[in-house]
Amino acid sequence: MATILVIDDEVTTQMVLQDLLEGEGHQVIIANNGQQGWEKAQQEQPNLIICDWMMPEMNGVDLCRTIKAKPELAATFFMLLTAREQIDDRVCGLNAGADDFISKPIETEELLARVRSGLRLNHLNQQLTQSLQELKNTQVQLVQSEKMSSLGRLVAGVAHEINNPISFIYGNISHVKEYTHDLSALIQTIRDDDNFSRQNLLDALEDIDFDFVTADLEKMLGSMKEGSERIREIVIALREFSSQERSGIHEIDLHHALDLALSMLGPRVHQAAGRASGLTPDKQYGQLPKIKGDIGLINQAIFNLLENALDAIMAKSRTNPDEDWTPRISITTRTLDSCWTEIEITDNGVGIDSTLDNKIFDPFFTTKPVGQGKGLGLAVAYQIVVQQHEGQLSYESHINQGTRFWVHLPINQEAVRCQISPTPYALAQSRSPQQAVPAPMTR
C-alpha cells in the first residue's frame, strides 16, 4: 500500500480521486490548496502526489518546485493534474520538476495506469537511494579500514625503528652502571682514606682500566644520546602527523608536510630488502607559498602518494633481474602561478598497467594481495585532493618503467576559480599513461 497525497481545490475531483485510489488499496490524504498540500507533504512524506495546476495561495507548478527542492521529498513522484495541453505549459511543468501529467477530464484507466507506473518508479528510486547510501557507508568503512591498515603498517615500522636505539640503550645501561660504580667507588675511597697516595690512585686507575673506561663511556653516552634524539624525532613526527588538534583549515607548508611524510616512511625504507634498502628520495624543492587547507587531510594524501611510490619501488626490487637498476624516488615542487602549486612525485618502480587507468582512484578496486591493506591509498588521496580541496590529481606511467604523479593544489579558495597556467607540467586531463614515459629522475 502506498501513501498518495491529492491536492485540489475542487471537492468533486477530490472525491473521485480518493474513491479510485482507495479502491486500489492506497492510503489517500486530501489537501484543499497548495499551502495545505505543502504542509501535509512535509508531515506525511507520501510516495506520490497528484496536484492540480491552478489553485489558490500556491499553484501546482510552484508547489512542485518547492517540494522537489526539499531533499527529503525530492524523490516523491509528482503528477500535475491539468487541462492545459500546450507544449509550453508541459515544458514549464517539467522544468519545475513534475514527473508526469494527468489531463482533465480524468480518464479512469489512464489515471490508474499512470499511478501504478509512478509508484513503480518511486519504489525503484527508493531502492536506488538506499543502495547509494549503503555504498557510501561501505566506502566510508573501506576508507577507514585502509587508514587503520596504513596506520598498522606505519606503527610496525615505527616500532622497529624505535626498537633499535632502545635495545642499544638498554644493552649498554649495565656497562654504564658498572663503569660509574667503579669510578664512584674509587672517588669514595679517595675521600675516606687520608693516607691515599698518588701511587695508590695510579694503581687503582690501572686496575679499572681508566683510559678504556672513559673512552668507552664517552662513546656509549654519545650513541645513547643520538638514539634518544632519534626516538624523540620519531615520536614528535608521529604526534604531529596524527594530531587531531591540527585538523581543520590552516596555512600549510607543503615542504614540511612532505618531509613529515618521508620521516614517517623512513622506518619502512630502513627495513626494505635488496636494492630498495637505504633509498634516499631526491628532493628538488622550489619556492612555494603556504596554502590554505585541512592540514591533517593534506598530510594523509601526501603520505599515501609517497607510500604508493615506495610500494612500487619495493615490488620492483623483489622481481627485477636488471643489476643496473637503481631505485629512485624524486619529489619536485613548484609554483605554477599566483593561484596554484604543484607537487610532482616520480618513481622508477613497477609502473601501472594501462588497463587500470580508469580504476586506480576507485575505492572499490585494488591490486594489493590479501593482507597488504585495502589498496585504497590512491582513492583516499584523490578524495582529499580533488573532492575536498578542489585540486587536481593526475599521473602518467609505463609498465616496469615507473610512474609520475602530479598534485595541483590551489593556494586558497579564491584560487580555485583561477585556471591552471598552461605550463609543461600543468593540466591533469591532458596527461595519460599512454602519452609519455616518465623522464629520468636525475636532473
443 residues of the chain, pLDDT tens digit each: 789 999 998 888 888 899 899 988 999 999 999 899 999 999 999 999 999 988 877 888 999 999 999 888 888 999 988 876 667 777 888 888 888 888 888 888 888 999 999 889 888 888 888 888 777 766 666 655 655 666 666 666 667 667 778 888 888 888 889 888 888 888 888 888 888 888 888 888 888 888 898 898 888 888 888 888 878 877 777 776 665 555 567 888 999 989 888 887 877 776 665 666 667 889 999 999 999 888 878 888 898 899 889 888 888 887 776 777 888 899 999 998 888 999 999 999 888 887 776 677 776 555 555 444 444 678 888 888 988 888 999 999 888 889 999 999 998 877 777 766 544 444 443 343 333 333 433 33
DSSP 395: E
Neighbours of 71 (CB within 10 A): 7
Alpha helices (H) along 350-432: 377-382
What is the C-alpha to C-alpha distance for residues 149 and 155, in angstroms, rounded to an integer?
A: 10
* Cβ–Cβ < 8 Å for 397, 403: yes
Residue with grid cell 629522475, as numbered in its chain? 441
pLDDT, position 426: 41
What's residue 341's pLDDT? Answer: 93
Question: What is the model's pLDDT at position 376?
Answer: 64
What is the predicted pLDDT for the residue at 40?
92
Asked if 407 contacts 345 with a C-beta cutoff of 8 angstroms, the reply is yes
Q: What is the DSSP letter of 273?
A: -
Locus of grid cell 524523490: 75
CB burial of 368-392 (b: ≥16 within 10 Å; e: otherwise) equals eeeeebbbbbbbbbbbbbbeebebb
Cβ neighbourhood burial of 257 (10 Å; 0-12, 13-18, 19+): buried
d(Cα 238, Cα 159) in Å, to the nearest integer? 11
DSSP strand pairing (329-335 vs 340-347) = antiparallel
How far apart are alpha carbons 427 and 420 in whole angstroms? 7
